[in-house]
Amino acid sequence: MNNVFDFAEACLHRADIEEKLQLTAKAWQLYQQGELKFDSLSAVQEIEQVCFPDKPELLAPRYMARRKLGTPEGVQAFYHALAHIEFIAIYLAWDILYRFRGLPEKFYQDWLRVAYEEALHFELIRSHLRKLGIDYGDLPAHQGLWEHAQDTAHDLLARLTIIPRCMEARGLDVTPGMIDKIRTLKDEAGVKILQRILQDEQQHVLFGSEWFNQQCREQQLEPEATFKAMLLKYFNNNKPKGPFNNEMRLNAGFTANELAWLNEQ
């Protein structure tokens, strides 16, 4: 295999976790060696064909047990939830690359980098989880994340708004607080993993902002107005809630006007 879309196809349609991690690392390695092809000749399957592992069991948020970080079970549940977010993030990166064709080669290189980094994040969290005595899949996980991909499967501007510029940007807002909390648990290894993830995520959001602006130029749309309209459309007129990490969001390509709008109540 040496075409990026064949790797994407395999990563989205085969459920095996180890195979997905190996394929993602292999695609990245071939790209680094200049041996990965980006010509998009293969057909695109519908998003309903994407396959997930049998475990973890996926539950609606209201059925998930709420546990505090103060207990060992709470710490396990916290890292398990993070592992799941990173696992779905691998799918989200492969899916934007796979589903939206005919873009500049840089688009595919950027999202390949994201897929590779999400796989690293997942592996870092999973090995931390194993040290805490459980594995990914041992607890149920949040069902909601993938729905945003399904909702935006036919609209690249919507996908860029909702995934990198909303869900991943939310990570920039909440991760510094999580780092503070786990620092109080004297979990230095966990602190290091989360700091690494936070730095990488700023770049993922920046890719989202850059491609969002590029698409607006292509479609002759005003970017700030389009961003607001898309967010309101996909969240039933509810604006995302703050507080926002304004500094990291500025570094990740949000404009002062977008942030002013997000911050106003």
Positions that interact with Fe ion (CB under 5 A): 86, 89, 118, 121, 168, 201, 204
- What sections of 102-144 are H helices per DSSP? 105-131
Distance in Å, CB of 170 to Fe ion, minimum: 11
**Helix crossing, 223-234 with 188-218: angle to 10°?**
120
CB closer to Fe ion, 120 vs 230: 120
Distance in Å, CB of 78 to Fe ion, minimum: 15
Cβ contact 65:77 at 8 Å = yes
CB closer to Fe ion, 95 vs 118: 118
Which residue's CB comes closest to Fe ion?
204
Distance in Å, CB of 208 to Fe ion, minimum: 9
- Concatenated DSSP letters of 233-255: HHTTTPPPP----HHHHHHTT--
Distance in Å, CB of 62 to Fe ion, minimum: 25
CB closer to Fe ion, 37 vs 113: 113
> Which residues, other chains included, contact 10 with Cβ-Cβ below 8 Å and sequence gap of 6+?
1, 19, 23
Q: Give the burial class of 72: count Cβ atoms within 10 A of its Cβ; 0-12 exposed, 13-18 middle, 19 or more buried.
A: exposed
Query: DSSP assignment, residue 37?
Result: B
CB closer to Fe ion, 110 vs 201: 201
* CA-wise closest residue to 157 among 89, 215, 236: 215
CB closer to Fe ion, 192 vs 217: 192
CB closer to Fe ion, 4 vs 163: 163
Cβ contact 231:244 at 8 Å = no
Distance in Å, CB of 90 to Fe ion, minimum: 9
Distance in Å, CB of 225 to Fe ion, minimum: 26
